[in-house]
């Protein structure tokens, strides 16, 4: 008969707390996305969520446990906060960690911000602008309708 220690004991045995004010890194197994985890009552439980519940309290349904440190292996409760998916995405974007680059930051960008404003302000047809700029007519239409380059205000200075 294999009797396992309680989840709390197994949890703390896999936490490196040497840097008490810094990240407490999970030393157990990590998912392919870099999050720690452990089995609790036969269910895989993310280590940072277990840490939050153990050290802070219950996690309301529908909320995420987010990291202020952006270290997915960190289980330090001082680095964890509750938030929605939107909160987590805004936190990521505010820190400049988004995988999605927009505008001139995108490696395939064909225009500058100034050129986008020229296209939007032009009275020429989409076809004429597509010939001038060397892109498809539909690309010009998407720029004008703000389906592309939508991170820029409609008019320069807005």
* Band of pLDDT at residue 101, cut at 50, 70 and 90: low
CB-CB contact of 16 with 25 (8 Å): yes
**pLDDT per residue over 117-141, tens digit each?**
999 999 999 999 989 988 889 989 9
The kind and range of the H/E element at 81 are strand 80-83
Task: Supply the pLDDT for residue 65.
Answer: 97
**pLDDT per residue over 63-77, tens digit each?**
999 999 989 999 999
More confident residue, 76 or 93: 76
CB-CB contact of 76 with 69 (8 Å): yes
**pLDDT per residue over 6-54, tens digit each?**
999 999 999 998 865 689 999 999 988 899 999 999 899 999 999 999 9
Most confident of 66-80, 91-105, 136-150: 66-80
CA distance 99 to 129: 30
What's the pTM? 0.62
Task: Supply the pLDDT for residue 62.
Answer: 94
Residue 105: pLDDT over 90: no
* Band of pLDDT at residue 55, cut at 50, 70 and 90: very high
Residue 28 backbone phi and psi in degrees, to 5 = -80, -165
- Mean local confidence (pLDDT), 141-155: 82
CA distance 22 to 62: 28
Task: Supply the pLDDT for residue 17.
Answer: 87
Task: Supply the pLDDT for residue 152.
Answer: 80
């Amino acid at each position: 008969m294999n009797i396992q220690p309680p989840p709390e004991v197994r949890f703390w045995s896999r936490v490196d707390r040497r840097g008490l004010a810094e990240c407490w890194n999970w030393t157990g197994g990590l998912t392919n996305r870099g999050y720690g985890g452990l089995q609790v009552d036969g269910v895989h439980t993310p280590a940072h969520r277990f840490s939050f519940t153990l050290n802070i309290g219950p996690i309301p349904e529908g909320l995420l446990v987010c990291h202020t440190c952006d270290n997915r292996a960190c289980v330090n409760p001082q680095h964890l906060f509750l938030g929605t998916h939107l909160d987590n995405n805004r936190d990521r974007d505010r820190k400049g960690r988004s995988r999605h680059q927009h505008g001139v930051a995108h490696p395939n960008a064909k225009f500058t911000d100034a050129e986008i404003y020229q296209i939007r302000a032009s009275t020429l047809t989409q076809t004429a602008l597509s010939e001038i700029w060397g892109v498809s007519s539909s690309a010009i239409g998407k720029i004008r309708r703000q389906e592309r380059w939508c991170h820029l205000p409609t008019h320069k200075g807005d």
